[in-house]
Structures are given as C-alpha cells and as structure tokens.
Structure 1
C-alpha cells in the first residue's frame, strides 16, 4: 500500500468531540505507516468577509498551549506555525481543512501542499446565525469534501452542488462493554454538560431535575468546563479521563441527548456501546442512524414536554429500556473504529492515486 504525507490544519488543540475524531484518524494513519503532521496557527485570522481581523482569543490560546496536546495521546507530529501559508506548511500528498474558519486559507495554499480536503463535522453556523454566509461560502471553494452524515451531505450539496463523501463516525472497538449490563433502581441517567444553546442544555437540565424529583434518579453529567449552579445532588465530572468516562457510561441506564442541532453527537454511540438506552432529539446521529422505538426513543418536535415524556417512559418501562439498550448496542457495533478508519484511509489514498 502506498504511504502518503498528510497535513491536517486545525483551529486549535482545545478538547472536544470533533477534534477527538480528527486526532484518532491521524493516529490511525501513523500506525499504518503514513507521515502525518497537524498544524496549529498562532495568528488565527478570520476569513476575508470579516476583513481579515485577527481572532485574538484563539491566537493567544494557541500560543500558550504550544504543541502540547494534554488530553489526547497523539502519535502524530504537531507543529505550531505563525499562520497558514506556503512558507510554514510542508509539501505533502493531502492537505486537510477541518473548520470553516481555516478553509479559505487552506484552499489558497499552493498545490504542492497536497490534494485539498475539507472535513466537515457539523453545520458550523453559530446560535445567532451571524456567520451563515461565511460557513456556506466555505462549501463553494471546490475542495474534496468529506462529512459524517447524509443529512450534512445534502445540506452542503444544496449550497454548492459539489460531490461530498460520507464516512460515519465510530466508537473505539475496545470501548464496547463486554460484561452483562446491570439495571439500576432507581435509574441512572448520563448527559453531556455543555451550555451551548444548540446543545439543548437548558432543556435537558429542566428534564433531569424533574426526573430526579419524581424518580430519585442518579444524574451524571460531564463536560470540558465546570458548570455553575448545578443541583448539589447532580454529579459533574470535569474533563474525565477516558477510563472514567467509560465507567460512567457503564453505570448509567439511560443517555439523554437534548441537542437541538448536532453534526453527530459522540455521546450517543459511546453510550450505546455501553448499553445505555438513548432518549434524544431528532438530530445528528439520532437523525442519521436511529429508528424510533427500536434503537432510541426520538423526539421529533424537540420540545421539553415530548422529550420529558419519552424519558419518563423509559424510566418506568424496564422492558422497553432493555430493548433500546440491546438494539442500540448492535447498531453501534456496525460503526467500530477499525472499520470506519480503514474507510477513511482508503478515501485519502483514492485522492492521490
């Protein structure tokens, strides 16, 4: 098999689900003998539609972090560069943009830097919608576009009418639960603690408070940043290590997924891999892969009342909960890391062959 040089440009090394996907693929490529370098720009400049202004917050953060990736065990090289330009990036076979903010800069690079790939993991329009034109313009650049769901593919094509490759996200093979799942009484519910509006935080928090009050449920939350004013009875784990996070999934009966808009939602398939019954809104991986009443209980209206009623149904009906746990587990197994990463590698090789 041909060994290739791959350059990946990321906005920063901040912890998150999207970066974890990118860095896991990068590690896999290194393990297969490919030469991978991840580039992080210090001078983080907005696209020209914002008059080339510097994003100082991200720029300063990138400088202070340097090339240290503290939350992920990387096998690839990380290079901190002054800015995204031909002077700072090596020649390679593939050059990949991973965010709309850097897509234009990557596109402007010389062809010697590699075949240009744009890896899109979500519709990155902010909650206010102020960057909608910028995001959609990035789809029209003419790069080889790769995304994670068919609904994202159709959205991109409605804007650009260009060819888009879909490779679904995954769960690591070793993170699937092997032992028999124990049912808790009262139930345990896990949810991502992220206060961004599109993550449905306020909606989810309201439902969890009612669930604990009515059923005395154990509530497990985790996230990158500590969240103020949580009920004292709620458990919160800040940036838990993977071993602890997998343990928390194993201890939970149900995963609540209240996101209003999501590219994928790694918590869903990770929870399924640990036989958590998923109750969630119809977005991201739930919209893409799940079947209502079979692999998840799905709220299409995305209202507090509907999502709450569905969660309470699962809490009260152990037979339904067990069915969702078992079916979700079988669904997640179809999207293992070993399978999806191989597809990712083959896609990149096809571009240079």
Structure 2
C-alpha cells in the first residue's frame, strides 16, 4: 500500500514515538510510507509570556528534535504552518490523520489520496490550548478509527456513537528496554517521568512521595523528562534528574528503580509504565490510559483512583516494604506483562486495520457508483 501519515510537527513525546514506530514498521513490511507535517504555528506573545511565568524561559522558534529524525523515510514539511491540502499529499491507498487538526485536513482531501483513517492517541480536547468544540467534533468524522487503549474505544462508542474503532495497544521494544534478573536497590528508589504539564500529575506524585518519605526517610527519586526542572514544580529532596536522556540511558534508569510511579490525571496510553515493566520494575499508577489495561493489582503493581495521593503513597509503601523474594516475584510478573506487548504484533494489527479501511472504502465507492448508474 501507499500510506500517507498526516502529522503535526513531531517532537520527542511518547505519542510521536508511537507514530515513528508505525511509520518505520509499515515501511519494513513493504509499504510505501510518506510522512507529511505542518510546522507549529508561531507562538503568540501571550504564550511566550506564559512560558516565562511557568519557569520554562522564553521559547525559541527553532525546530525541536523528534523521533522522526532517524527515520529513512520520505517526508514533506509544510512551512509556515497552514492546512495540508491535496497539493501536498501524493495519491495513495490510505491517508492517516494523527491529531485533531490533521483530522480536519484529512476529511477534506480527495478520494485519490486514499482511504481516510483517524489514529487517536488521546482525548485531545483535554490539552491546554486545544479548541474543545473542534477537537470533539473530529470524533464524529466518518472515518474508521484506530486507538491505543480500551478507555478510548469505550469513549468513541459511548459518547460519540462510533463502533468502527480498532484497538491496537501500544507496545514496548524488548531489544531496547530490558534488564537482567535483579534485586531491590540498597536505598528505596522510586522513578517517575517529570513534566510541568498539568495533566501529567507531578503535583500528585510529589505529594505521594512526601508521604512515602515519612516512612522511608532515605527515599531516593529518579526522574527524567523532556523539559528542565521548573522552580514552580521542584523535584522532591534526594532526587536525581536526567534531561532528555538517550534511549539506552532510559533503560538503565528504569532498572535502577524499585517501583515506577505515574500520578497522571489523564493519559491516552502512557508508555513509561510498560517500558519500566520491561526493565523488571513494578508500577504504581493512577487509573489512566494503558495502565488500566496492563496492571494487575498486587501482581505487577497497583492502580488507584486519579488524584488520590494517599492511595499512591500507600501502594508505593507496599512495594517498597516487600521482602526480597516477594519483590522479585512482582518484578518478574512485570516483565511477563511487558513481553505480551510487542511492536511486531501491534504493527500487524495496525496493518490489518488499514487493509480493512481500504476495502471498506472501495465497497462504499462501488455502491455509490452503482447508485449513480
């Protein structure tokens, strides 16, 4: 198939890593893949001032690194930012929207660009700065949809009446994320992803860690993230922070933790918990994204209600208090969970969903042609 991905400007976030994986894996399966994106709109003065207030400094109008940088695939970059139209997209078999704004663009493309598919990784109306009405309206566009977690499948059905949704869970590259059998750390150690983005819930995570430190005064925290630590959201005492670590280094960070913490208020899937599991690290998470699907309470970690710092702290203490052998059993169970989610399997499911969309579009076109005759 000739496959066109229509993207916002890629970056180093987990969602774009997923998109880069699928673009690469579909290419390796023999498909002709083209990636087309529009650069980000220039930030307004108000947005720049907000960045300064939040401790992120004056934003630079430069292209950020992304997970697409290393891909040997054709791409088209539209600069300055504007809607992507027929003139930008080669004719193909399938064209994939990957963000609410790109779904608006894809819906207006001609049939020659391919069967239209909408790949959804979150309820994007929850993001700051996203126009709620427009983002929500894209769920109702007449395109088959692919999404990454059960809660998004349920959302499409229950709130938007759409049953034509394929679940393709995110996965983990076991050649990249792994660790040998291991014991707990000499010092109790909790890991987390650092972000000042509100829905990532670091405020809740830090409150939970303060409670944990009351029982483990020598508690160590290992964190990494794509943004520098903000004075408005300082890391807990005895924290070790890594800014944009290399992928190989991330594996080592996971493997140095006794338990991985996610306190998010909302996630589409959220890759770090599954990656941590691949590195034999149990996970304590709020009930968000893929954590609901992959964590079994008391087996490979724990799931608690969103916003419940006390419950997060309680489950962290449970894991950190385990004797060596029960902790190792939970560690092995985390690994076994991760091993069930491979990118090859995910790519096969994604590919099947694309074939189905192409076939359905062909049938609809034939029916419409027959009706005209």
> Do the two structures share a fold, i.e. TM-score over 0.5?
yes
Gaps of 5+ in 2: 45-58, 360-373
Distance 1:235 1:132, change over 3 A: same
Match of 1:252 in 2: 257
Specify the SS of the correspondent of 1:156: helix
Name the count of aligned residue pairs: 337
Distance 1:33 1:137, change over 3 A: same
What is the CA deviation profile of residues 333-353 of structure 1, one whole-angstrom value per residue up to 9, with x for unaligned ones? 111112212221222233334
Distance 1:71 1:27, change over 3 A: closer
- How far apart in 2 are the matches of 1:231 and 1:258? 14
Specify the SS of the correspondent of 1:10: strand
1:10 aligns with 2:11: no
Gaps of 5+ in 1: 45-54
Distance 1:143 1:332, change over 3 A: same
- How far apart in 1 are the matches of 2:127 and 2:240? 27
1:96 aligns with 2:96: yes
Distance 1:86 1:196, change over 3 A: same
User: Which has the larger displacement, 323-332 or 106-115?
Assistant: 323-332
Match of 2:19 in 1: 22
Query: 1:156-305 alignment to 2 at 5 Å?
Result: 156-162=156-162, 163-177=164-178, 179-212=180-213, 214-215=215-216, 216-228=218-230, 229-231=234-236, 233-300=238-305, 302-305=307-310
Whether the 8 Å CA contact 2:146–2:353 is kept in 1: the answer is no
- How far apart in 1 are the matches of 2:61 and 2:108? 23
Whether the 8 Å CA contact 1:171–1:335 is kept in 2: the answer is yes
- How far apart in 2 are the matches of 1:77 and 1:26? 10
Distance 1:97 1:276, change over 3 A: same
Match of 2:131 in 1: 131
Cα offset, 1:62, TM superposition: 11
Specify the SS of the correspondent of 2:146: strand
TM-score by length of 2: 0.84
Whether the 8 Å CA contact 2:116–2:357 is kept in 1: the answer is no
TM-score by length of 1: 0.88
Cα offset, 1:212, TM superposition: 4.3
Cα offset, 1:253, TM superposition: 1.4
Match of 1:56 in 2: 42
- How far apart in 2 are the matches of 1:69 and 1:127? 20
Whether the 8 Å CA contact 1:139–1:159 is kept in 2: the answer is no
Specify the SS of the correspondent of 1:292: coil
- How far apart in 2 are the matches of 1:105 and 1:70? 23
User: Which has the larger displacement, 284-293 or 6-15?
Assistant: 284-293
User: Which has the larger displacement, 203-212 or 109-118?
Assistant: 203-212
What is the CA deviation profile of residues 144-190 of structure 1, one whole-angstrom value per residue up to 9, with x for unaligned ones? 11101121111012233221111010001313425222321212211
Specify the SS of the correspondent of 2:116: strand
User: Which has the larger displacement, 204-213 or 147-156?
Assistant: 204-213
Whether the 8 Å CA contact 1:278–1:324 is kept in 2: the answer is no
Cα offset, 1:258, TM superposition: 0.7
- How far apart in 2 are the matches of 1:332 and 1:153? 21
- Alignment counterpart, residue 340 of structure 1, candidates 339, 346, 351: 346
Specify the SS of the correspondent of 1:92: coil
Cα offset, 1:129, TM superposition: 9.2
What is the CA deviation profile of residues 231-253 of structure 1, one whole-angstrom value per residue up to 9, with x for unaligned ones? 56311111111000011111111
- How far apart in 1 are the matches of 2:289 and 2:198? 15
What is the CA deviation profile of residues 196-238 of structure 1, one whole-angstrom value per residue up to 9, with x for unaligned ones? 1211110112223443464212211111100124356311111
- Alignment counterpart, residue 311 of structure 1, candidates 290, 310, 316: 316
Match of 2:74 in 1: 77
